[in-house]
Amino acid sequence: MASGVYLIFQNHFSTVLSIQLGLLGLVTGVILENKFSFIKTSVLLTVILGITSLLAIFIISLHDENFLNKIFMNLQIHIDKSLKIYEETGISREKIELIKESFSTALNIIKTSFPAIIFIINFLIVSINLFFSKKILGLEALKLSPFKTWKLRDEFIWIFISCAIMTFLFKYAKFQSGYTIGLNLLIIISTVYLVGGLAITSFFFDKWKVFPFVKVLIYTLAFMQPIFLILIIILGLIDFWFDFRK
């Protein structure tokens, strides 16, 4: 059976997408009948699509052990092309080496956190689709509260702490598999707290009546600088203790 599935997926990734979209349609109908909230719907659909994606990759990898390596090799080729472009612009050798090191670090992060990246991408796709479906089609069953009021349940802080401790301990014990699992879980839960931090910033933007153009500029700058994203995640975390919107 696995061989049959592989033959379907091998050169037809559109098949995986078709299966995902089919599941998305079926499950969305069931969820809407139960009148789940926007966030709950997004999370459930993300889990389904994420598991489907990882299952497809697993089945293909059973028959092509170099499948993931080919993906990473393609990324490396694009990185090399980008470095060549930088070299042709006349940038100093020291800066080229710095850029090369940054690209290499980014590629290693992608290799380690590949499952988490899949879940995050699926979450973005699902959320954007649900948002526009709500706005354009007027789905009354999909409950959409103002984003600025959204807050993660308090229990999630212990999940974050547990993932952080697990990641640290497995790294210290040099248990690579455990470290990889812990890191991916930590990245996923951190992304959720990033959303929480953005909800807090949205609350204060509205409270201070910040102009839309300024909002877009600040968000753009935040997503261009990792340090700002970390600060927003921290903002989402410490809201557990300070409750900034009370």
SS3 77: helix
Give me 26's structure tokens: 């079926």
Q: Are 240 and 144 in contact (CB under 8 A)?
A: no
Give the 3-state secondary structure of residue 37.
strand
Give the predicted TM-score (pTM) of the model. Answer: 0.82
Non-local CB neighbours of 227 within 8 Å, separated by 6+ positions: none
Tokens of 123: 């979450």
CB-based burial of residue 61 (10 Å sphere; 0-12 exposed, 13-18 middle, 19+ buried)? Answer: middle
State residue 234 phi and psi, 5-degree precision: -60, -40
Residue with tokens 């500029």: 217
Instruction: Going residue by residue through the chain, which has 246 residues, state the pLDDT in tens, using 9 for 90 and above.
Output: 334 444 434 454 566 666 666 777 777 676 667 777 777 788 888 888 888 888 877 877 777 778 778 778 888 888 888 888 877 777 777 888 888 888 888 888 888 998 998 899 888 888 887 788 777 776 666 677 788 888 888 888 999 999 999 999 999 998 998 999 999 999 999 999 999 999 999 999 998 989 989 999 988 988 888 889 999 999 999 998 888 887
The tokens describing 45, both together, are: 């659909």
The full DSSP string for 128-182 is HHHHHHHHHH--TTSB---GGG----TTHHHHHHHHHHHHHHHHHTT-HHHHHHH
